[in-house]
């Protein structure tokens, strides 16, 4: 069953393709009411769908925004995607969602993929600092691009992200105010902008409070629950006298809690744990996890708005960086230590 084309409709209606094109695109000024109606009926009857491909070839526009995220199974990202999606559809744009699967190669492949197809812009949540290969692709590409949840070293690139430094700084200070001084840090890969900022925030907070930095108190891991679980095991071996751990995301924190509990210890009595992101799980887990909230849905919306501005050319004066403020969500996973 061949797909119906504009030519088929034109034949059946005894008009030219130009006319069909006119009515299909609602540029009906200059089309007789009767022909218009006849064509519309045919369109309906044969379920004619204009090929966006052919159309894209001539118009070079597509109303499709590509979105690359690191990992769909971290609940943080679907929420971001929703924000982007909601804002985009409001403006008639569709999203192509690509899950980079925590792999630079996959991300690079998707960048190519999106470049070859006619997306009109890309929102890119790179999970690590971009490699030279990727940097090159981006530089050579003329596609509008906004980074979300990161801020690469590219002059003039558009970014929306959280003030990660402040976020972690505040969190560590909160821990310190609660009497903690031996504070562990569970980091993700440090070659990620966000993670690196968080790490710096941790360091700075310790420093500002006159607490010595101890590398035995920091472990590095990947981002999933299982990774936090594993990392906690390692941290417990090196981190003597540790009374609290700050984790770089909620998933890791939850994994850490699992490990602690499995070892017969209690959170927060034996050790306090805090996370980052405020995903829904943090509310559900026992004890409820203290964490820092990112307005991720809104960040998504703003990123969408930003790229649409650029695409539609209203973006000459769009600011380069949009940075959001974090907020602490205090729950039950931190113990107050009396002095």
Partner DNA sequence: TTGAAAGCGGTACCAG
Partner DNA sequence: CTGGTACCGCTTTCAA
Q: Which is nearer to a second copy, 26 or 142 (CB)?
A: 142
User: What's the min distance (Å) between Cβ of 325 and a second copy?
Assistant: 23
1 touches a second copy by CB under 8 A: yes
- The answer to whether residues 197 and 168 touch, using CB atoms and an 8 Å cutoff, is yes
Q: Which is nearer to a second copy, 168 or 257 (CB)?
A: 257
Q: Residue 264's Cα: distance from chain center in Å?
A: 36
Q: Which is nearer to DNA, 55 or 91 (CB)?
A: 55
Q: Which H helix or E strand runs over 226?
A: helix 225-238
- The answer to whether residues 18 and 7 touch, using CB atoms and an 8 Å cutoff, is no
Please identify which residue in 30, 47, 155, 339 interacts with a second copy, judged by CB under 8 A: 47
- The answer to whether residues 159 and 302 touch, using CB atoms and an 8 Å cutoff, is no
The footprint of DNA (CB under 7 A) covers: 2-3, 5-7, 14-19, 21-22, 24-25, 27, 29-36, 48-51, 54-55, 57-60
Q: With 0-12 CB in 10 A as exposed, 13-18 as middle and 19+ as buried, what is 131?
A: middle
118 touches a second copy by CB under 8 A: yes
Q: Which structure tokens are listed for 144? A: 């509008």
Residue 45 interacts with, from a second copy, DNA, none (CB under 5-8 Å by kind) = none
3 touches a second copy by CB under 8 A: yes
* C-alpha distance from residue 62 to each of 22, 86, 118, 178, 257 (Å): 18, 18, 6, 54, 46
User: What's the min distance (Å) between Cβ of 152 and a second copy?
Assistant: 19
For 229-262, letters b (16+ CB in 10 Å) and e give bbbbbebbeebeebbbbbbbbbbbbbbbbbbbee
Could you count the other beta carbons within 10 Å of the beta carbon of residue 283? Answer: 12
User: What's the min distance (Å) between Cβ of 191 and a second copy?
Assistant: 24
Please identify which residue in 11, 75, 166, 209 interacts with a second copy, judged by CB under 8 A: 75
Q: Which is nearer to a second copy, 95 or 242 (CB)?
A: 95
Please identify which residue in 16, 18, 27, 51 interacts with a second copy, judged by CB under 8 A: 51
Residue 303 sits at the vertex; the CA angle it makes with 300 and 305, to the nearest 5 degrees, is 110
280 touches a second copy by CB under 8 A: yes
Q: Which H helix or E strand runs over 69?
A: strand 64-69
Residue 97 interacts with, from DNA, a second copy, none (CB under 5-8 Å by kind) = a second copy
Q: Cis (ω within 30 of 0) for the bond into 248?
A: no
Q: Which is nearer to DNA, 25 or 240 (CB)?
A: 25
112 touches a second copy by CB under 8 A: yes
Q: Which residues pair with 64 in a beta bridge?
A: 94
63: alpha, beta or left, given left = phi > 0 and alpha = psi -120 to 50?
Answer: left
Residue 78 interacts with, from a second copy, DNA, none (CB under 5-8 Å by kind) = a second copy
Please identify which residue in 18, 57, 213, 263 interacts with a second copy, judged by CB under 8 A: 57
Please identify which residue in 17, 97, 157, 203 interacts with a second copy, judged by CB under 8 A: 97
User: What's the min distance (Å) between Cβ of 65 and DNA?
Assistant: 20
Residue 22 interacts with, from DNA, a second copy, none (CB under 5-8 Å by kind) = DNA
The count of chain residues that interact with a second copy, using the rule CB under 8 A, is 46
Q: Which H helix or E strand runs over 275?
A: none
User: Which residues contribute to the site for a second copy (CB under 8 A)?
Assistant: 1-3, 47, 49-54, 56-57, 72-73, 75, 78-79, 81-82, 85, 94-99, 101, 112-113, 115-118, 136-137, 140-142, 225, 254, 258, 280-281, 284-286
């Amino acid at each position: 069953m061949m797909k119906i084309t504009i030519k088929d409709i034109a034949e059946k209606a005894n008009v030219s393709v130009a006319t069909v094109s006119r009515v299909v695109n609602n540029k009906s000024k200059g089309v007789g009411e009767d022909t218009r109606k006849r064509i519309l009926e045919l369109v309906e009857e044969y379920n004619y769908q204009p090929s966006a491909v052919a159309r894209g070839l001539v118009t070079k526009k597509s109303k499709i925004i590509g979105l690359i995220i690191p990992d769909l199974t971290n609940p943080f990202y679907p929420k971001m995607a929703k924000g982007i999606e909601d804002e985009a559809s409001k403006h008639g744009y569709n999203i192509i969602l690509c899950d980079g699967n925590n792999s630079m190669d996959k991300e690079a492949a998707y960048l190519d993929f999106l470049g070859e197809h006619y997306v009109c812009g890309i929102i890119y949540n790179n999970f690590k600092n971009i490699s030279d290969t990727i940097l090159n692709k981006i530089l050579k590409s003329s596609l509008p691009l906004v980074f979300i949840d990161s801020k690469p070293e590219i002059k003039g690139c558009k970014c929306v992200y959280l003030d990660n430094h402040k976020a972690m700084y505040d969190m560590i200070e909160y821990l310190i105010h609660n009497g903690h001084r031996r504070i562990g840090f569970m980091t993700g890969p440090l070659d990620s902008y966000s993670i690196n900022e968080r790490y710096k925030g941790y360091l700075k907070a310790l420093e500002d409070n006159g607490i010595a930095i101890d590398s035995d108190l920091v472990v590095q891991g990947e981002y999933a629950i299982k990774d936090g679980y594993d990392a906690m095991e390692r941290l417990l071996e090196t981190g003597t006298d540790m009374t609290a751990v700050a984790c770089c995301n909620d998933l890791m924190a939850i994994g850490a809690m699992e490990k602690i509990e499995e070892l017969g210890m209690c959170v927060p009595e034996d050790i306090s744990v805090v996370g980052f992101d405020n995903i829904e799980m943090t509310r559900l887990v026992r004890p409820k996890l203290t964490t820092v909230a990112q307005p991720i849905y809104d960040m998504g919306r703003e990123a969408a708005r930003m790229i649409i501005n650029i695409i539609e050319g209203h973006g000459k004066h769009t600011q380069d960086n949009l940075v959001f403020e974090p907020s602490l969500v205090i729950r039950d996973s931190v113990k107050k230590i009396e002095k």
